[in-house]
Amino acid sequence: MALGRLLGFLVGAVATIGAACDGGEPPIADQAPVPARVRLITDAQYGNVVRDLLGDVTVPPLRTPGTAAHQFIHEDVIAVDAPLLVQYRIAAEVIAAELAADAAALGCPASDGACARARVEEVAGRAFRRPLDGAEAAALWSMFELGRADGGEAAGFALVIEAVLQAPDFLYRSELGPATATTEVVELSPHELAAELSFLLLDSIPDPALWAAAGDGSLADPDVLAAQVDRLLALPRVQDHLVAVALDWLEVWQVLETGKDPLLFPDLDPGLRVSMFGETERFVRDVLWRRRGSLRDLLGSRASFADARLAAHYGLPGPSAGAAADAFVPIDHDPQQRAGILTHASLLTSLATARQESIIRRGIFIHRHLLCTPELGRPPFDAIAGVAPLTSQLSESQFAHYRAAHLYCRGCHRVIDPPGRALHHFDGLGRWRAIDPIDQLVEATARLLIGDDVHDVDGAVELAAALADSEQVARCVVDQLAHHAFGQAFTDQIGAATRRGYHGRFEDSDRDLVDVFRTIATSPAFRKRHRGGAP
């Protein structure tokens, strides 16, 4: 070796060590806050992948613990124990039986072995989100032959699918990096990265263009990745999915299910619930895809949608005569009364008890979903029981005054209650009122604590403005979307730098919720993993 090259090597090595000691190189937790891992796919993803692979087949309902329908954050703590394996097995057998009965399922001319083999490898590879190795391809082909011997080519294909849908490579998302990697921080392989991206945005396996970019390795190029993200964000299917994610985040679907006393709320039939949900779904879609994803609009805009039923519920003029009764039309809410999603009948109806509106539920919702206030817990049950004879005689508003005055209650409720008190103009179905149930003028003044700032607000419109302007709300929303994307929360200890970067980009984008997904998908944390224990 030439002396010069050796010296160059040594200098380089020393420089590297020096940088690490100086703190020039960021700590592992900042380079790759997420560990190398496998993640179980959700039940929704299972169904989506099966339909993407096999077209219009019946997917039996799965009930994997930790992933309910509408669950915003997947609780990925369950191993595939025997009960869960049996569920996957039953589902795979039902799907396979449907394929076995369909001579066209394989999609190849009869007795075209080359076509059949190519099709088996293509379907299995896409299901596993990576090309098969030789042993896998051979094993699947001999299964095809085994099934074919018993029941023809459709049966052969069905047996392959039965195995693929129970295979760990299908059920677990691999976030491990290349098998040959030896460094502490690894880059996901292009196929793994493509799968992460497609599960985030399509809730399924990569579509053909993304699959091609993984296959030729070009996805490792940040420009190609960014272009794929932009391409995906323009797809109607991705736009639908992100609307669903936002609705899951705010638990808007609750309005379809929440229990209400039919004697007190005879108006709330299933049709009105659907109309309430329909407003918020259309509003969220409008905000995300036609109003630049603006968090400010989500929280503060009075431009919304209603059908005839909901317009009447709000006391607004409905769609003009001649329009279908269930057609939604743009409406403007009264600027003195409503602003943003928190004043939609959907949320106000579900953030209530079966009998009446609830200051506490409304307050807790805003603390959890918009302020990220640490949970304050519940009071001991004897404490509630002890004062119940008195407090059960109070109106909702009087009870809130009681909690604010009571030395013990006040400790938590001076934080919990104010956002709910500011919404007190709305009854248990979200109808505006000036007079409350005990014939008093509604009081909706509240002193909000947002971070270290105090905001005195009067009513929902001022509350919405304070929240829409708040940096804490902006950070809280980004943190939750990141938690959804990674299945892991970033904190001051883990992923602090990544998190700060996300917050900064969000402000730079004027709080564009769609851009949060772009930011996450193109960030180093998305494509890097650390190995070896917690960072």
Instruction: Considering the complex, state which of residue 290 and residue 378 has its C-beta at the smaller distance from other proteins.
Output: 378
Q: Does 428 bind other proteins (CB under 8 A)?
A: no
Instruction: Considering the complex, state which of residue 38 and residue 390 has its C-beta at the smaller distance from other proteins.
Output: 38
Rounded distance between C-alpha atoms, residue 365 and residue 372, angstroms:
10
Round to the nearest angstrom and report the end-to-end CA distance of the chain: 38
Q: Write out 13-47 in H/E/C secondary structure.
A: HHHHHHHHHHCCCCCHHHHCCCECEEEECCHHHHH
Q: Among 11, 19, 90, 390, which residue sits at the site for other proteins (rule: CB under 8 A)?
A: 90
DSSP 102: -
Minimum Å gap between C-beta 270 and other proteins is 17
Contact map string, positions 323 to 352, toward other proteins, x by CB under 8 A: ------------------------------
Q: Does 368 bind other proteins (CB under 8 A)?
A: no
Q: Does 78 bind other proteins (CB under 8 A)?
A: yes
> How many residues sit close enough to other proteins to count as binding (CB under 8 A)?
57
Q: Does 80 bind other proteins (CB under 8 A)?
A: yes
Contact map string, positions 231 to 270, toward other proteins, x by CB under 8 A: ----------------------------x-----------
Minimum Å gap between C-beta 46 and other proteins is 15
Instruction: Considering the complex, state which of residue 123 and residue 159 has its C-beta at the smaller distance from other proteins.
Output: 159
Minimum Å gap between C-beta 97 and other proteins is 11
At 115, list the tokens: 């076509």
Yes or no: say if 241 and 203 are a contact pair by the CB < 8 Å rule: yes
At 263, list the tokens: 């004697």
For helices 208-215 and 190-201, give the axis angle rounded to 10 degrees: 160
Minimum Å gap between C-beta 432 and other proteins is 29
Site for other proteins in 42-71 (CB under 8 A): 63, 65-66
Yes or no: say if 321 and 361 are a contact pair by the CB < 8 Å rule: no
Q: Among 3, 135, 321, 454, which residue sits at the site for other proteins (rule: CB under 8 A)?
A: 135
Instruction: Considering the complex, state which of residue 75 and residue 453 has its C-beta at the smaller distance from other proteins.
Output: 75
Q: How far is CA 393 from CA 297, 400, 466, 534, in A?
A: 39, 13, 33, 52
Element (H, E) at 300: helix 295-300
Yes or no: say if 257 and 349 are a contact pair by the CB < 8 Å rule: no
For other proteins, which stretch binds (CB under 8 A), given 202-210, 277-285, 382-390, 400-408? 382-390
For other proteins, which stretch binds (CB under 8 A), given 165-173, 396-404, 419-427, 503-511? 165-173
Yes or no: say if 12 and 6 are a contact pair by the CB < 8 Å rule: no
Could you give the 3-state DSSP secondary structure of residue 301?
coil
Minimum Å gap between C-beta 189 and other proteins is 12
Yes or no: say if 41 and 49 are a contact pair by the CB < 8 Å rule: yes
Minimum Å gap between C-beta 78 and other proteins is 6
Instruction: Considering the complex, state which of residue 19 and residue 149 has its C-beta at the smaller distance from other proteins.
Output: 149
Q: Does 89 bind other proteins (CB under 8 A)?
A: yes
For other proteins, which stretch binds (CB under 8 A), given 250-258, 307-315, 377-385, 422-430? 377-385
For other proteins, which stretch binds (CB under 8 A), given 322-330, 455-463, 489-497, 514-522? 489-497
Q: How far is CA 72 from CA 124, 245, 356, in A?
A: 29, 7, 27
Q: Does 1 bind other proteins (CB under 8 A)?
A: no
**3-state SS of the chain: helix, strand, coil percent to 5?**
55, 10, 35
Instruction: Considering the complex, state which of residue 431 and residue 483 has its C-beta at the smaller distance from other proteins.
Output: 483
Yes or no: say if 397 and 445 are a contact pair by the CB < 8 Å rule: no
Cβ of 295: how many Cβ atoms within 10 Å?
Answer: 24
Q: Does 93 bind other proteins (CB under 8 A)?
A: yes
Rounded distance between C-alpha atoms, residue 210 and residue 197, angstroms:
9
Rounded distance between C-alpha atoms, residue 318 and residue 326, angstroms:
10
Q: Pinpoint the alpha helices (H) of 101-133.
A: 113-128
Minimum Å gap between C-beta 105 and other proteins is 17
For other proteins, which stretch binds (CB under 8 A), given 142-150, 233-241, 265-273, 514-522? 142-150
CA-closest candidate to residue 271, choices 255, 286, 259: 255
Q: How far is CA 209 from CA 50, 192, 212, in A?
A: 19, 15, 5
Rounded distance between C-alpha atoms, residue 513 and residue 246, angstroms:
9
Q: Does 28 bind other proteins (CB under 8 A)?
A: no
Instruction: Considering the complex, state which of residue 7 and residue 68 has its C-beta at the smaller distance from other proteins.
Output: 68
Q: Does 385 bind other proteins (CB under 8 A)?
A: yes
Q: Among 41, 95, 176, 268, which residue sits at the site for other proteins (rule: CB under 8 A)?
A: 176
Rounded distance between C-alpha atoms, residue 396 and residue 443, angstroms:
11
Q: Among 382, 389, 393, 435, which residue sits at the site for other proteins (rule: CB under 8 A)?
A: 382
Rounded distance between C-alpha atoms, residue 527 and residue 521, angstroms:
8
Q: Among 3, 21, 82, 104, which residue sits at the site for other proteins (rule: CB under 8 A)?
A: 82
Q: Does 380 bind other proteins (CB under 8 A)?
A: yes
Yes or no: say if 387 and 317 are a contact pair by the CB < 8 Å rule: no
Residues near other proteins (CB under 8 A) are: 37-38, 63, 65-66, 75, 77-87, 89-90, 93, 135-136, 139-140, 142-143, 146-147, 150, 159, 162-163, 166-169, 172, 174, 176, 179, 259, 354, 374-375, 377-382, 385, 388, 483, 489, 491, 494, 533
